Amino acid sequence: MDLTGNTGAARQALLTMWTIRRFEEAVDDLFARGLMHGTMHLSIGQEAVPVGACLALADGDYITSTHRGHGHCIARGARLDAMMAELLAKETGYCRGRGGSMHIADVATGNLGANGIVAGGVPIAAGAGLAIRMRGGPRVVVSFFGDGAVNEGAWHEGVNLAAIWDLPVVFVCENNHYGMSMPVARAFRVERLAERAAAYGIPGETVDGNDPQAVHDAVGKAVARARSGAGPSFVEAVTYRWKGHSKSDKNLYRTREEIERWRERDPIARFETRCALTEAELAEVRDQARDRVREAIRIANAAPDAAADSLTDAVYAS
């Protein structure tokens, strides 16, 4: 799919990226004003990765997400009001306000869930891939994770199982240069994390994660391979998060100059200069994204709070 030259595709990609950006900014503001509680992991600056990847998927395909998963949810088609309600601890949230930011799941769109455990979604993706293989059919799974996950045992086990069983899984690394405060250069000896794919006998590719077209092309190729029965692939999308790891991050491990250099590579601004939309159409897309998020906040705020007396209804013990 041509995301830049095709007007319809360009509009869809840009609207989704702007919606993710405005959603994250709104969440940041609500948290700062004391209207949202818990913790928050924002993906501002990384919008091109989930958009490019999810546009390569078909209805019925699955994703597994991360603790920084709002963008994945939105790119896969989640309802903004149900997401916002979940973050505001409302009964109408995706998990009835029980899960919060790090545990949103939306099975209707194939989103098997965000995960507070680093690399926790990788073995889940392998399991979903095995289920697809056993049932038959053309579905695939895209597993999102950060650079920090690539050194976790669960990551190695999940990727290895997918490789030896030729499971239809595409592993997408959002390499934003830091696992919390640990720089990638200190955590790995390899220059590109995609080089790790060779250890499992699967293809690995590194792309510009601030270019939705580059992400889309690489993930699309990997999805086609998985759908044909040829097995998994590893796509490393190099990007950057503008905000800290979480709301408690004071950003003491990186400089303002570094952050500003990456802000100048804003994936949304870059895409706007390349896509086939007029200035009037660009303004319309920006306004639509803003209005969608505002409406989601309005609906979520009006919803009833999660009921404390039913918190254990879904908890079972043997």
In a domain, 308, yes or no: no
Q: Where are the alpha helices (DSSP H) in 136-250?
A: 153-164, 184-187, 212-227
118-149 per-position pLDDT tens digit: 999 999 999 999 999 999 999 999 999 999 99
3-state secondary structure of 240: coil
CATH number at residue 107: 3.40.50.970
Q: What are phi and psi of 235, to 5 degrees?
A: -115, 120
> What CA–CA distance (Å, rounded) separates 200 from 137?
24
Structure confidence by residue, pLDDT tens digits, 8-38: 999 999 999 999 999 999 999 999 999 998 8
- Collapse the DSSP code of 90 into the 3-class scheme (helix H, G, I; strand E, B; otherwise coil) and give the result: strand
Determine, yes or no, domain membership for 280: yes
pLDDT in tens, 230-287: 999 999 999 999 999 998 898 999 999 999 999 999 999 999 999 999 999 999 999 9
Rounded alpha-carbon distances, angstroms, from residue 6 to 3, 118, 210, 276: 6, 37, 19, 7
Flag whether 49 is in a domain: yes
Q: Residue 282 domain-assigned? A: yes
Is 309 domain-assigned?
Answer: no
Task: Write down the pLDDT at residue 316.
Answer: 73
* Residue 116: how many other CB atoms lie within 10 Å: 15
- Full domain range(s) for residue 254: 7-300
Q: Which pLDDT does position 311 carry in this prediction?
A: 76
Mean of pLDDT over the chain = 96
Q: Does residue 199 lie within any of the structural domains? A: yes
Is a pLDDT exceeding 70 seen at residue 317? no
Q: Is the Cα dihedral 32, 37, 39, 41 positive or negative?
A: negative
244-282 in b/e burial notation, b at 16+ Cβ within 10 A?
Answer: bbebeeeeeeeeeeebeebeeebbbebbbeebebeeeeb
Tell me, yes or no, whether 317 lies in a domain.
no
The count of structural domains within the chain is 1
Determine, yes or no, domain membership for 126: yes
Kindly report the pTM of this predicted structure: 0.96
Residue 113, pLDDT > 70, answer yes
- Average of pLDDT values for 185-195? 97
pLDDT computed for residue 48 by the predictor: 98
Write a three-state SS string for 189-216. Answer: CCCCHHHHHHHHCCCEEEEECCCHHHHH
Render pLDDT for 42-85 as a digit per residue (tens, 0 to 9): 999 999 999 999 999 999 999 999 999 999 999 999 999 999 99
Q: 297 falls in which pLDDT band (50, 70, 90)?
A: very high
Q: Where residue 295 falls among pLDDT bands split at 50, 70, 90?
A: very high
Rounded Cα gap, residues 47 and 149, in angstroms: 19
- pLDDT confidence tier of residue 3, bands split at 50, 70 and 90: very high
Q: Look at residue 215 and tell me whether its pLDDT is greater than 70.
A: yes
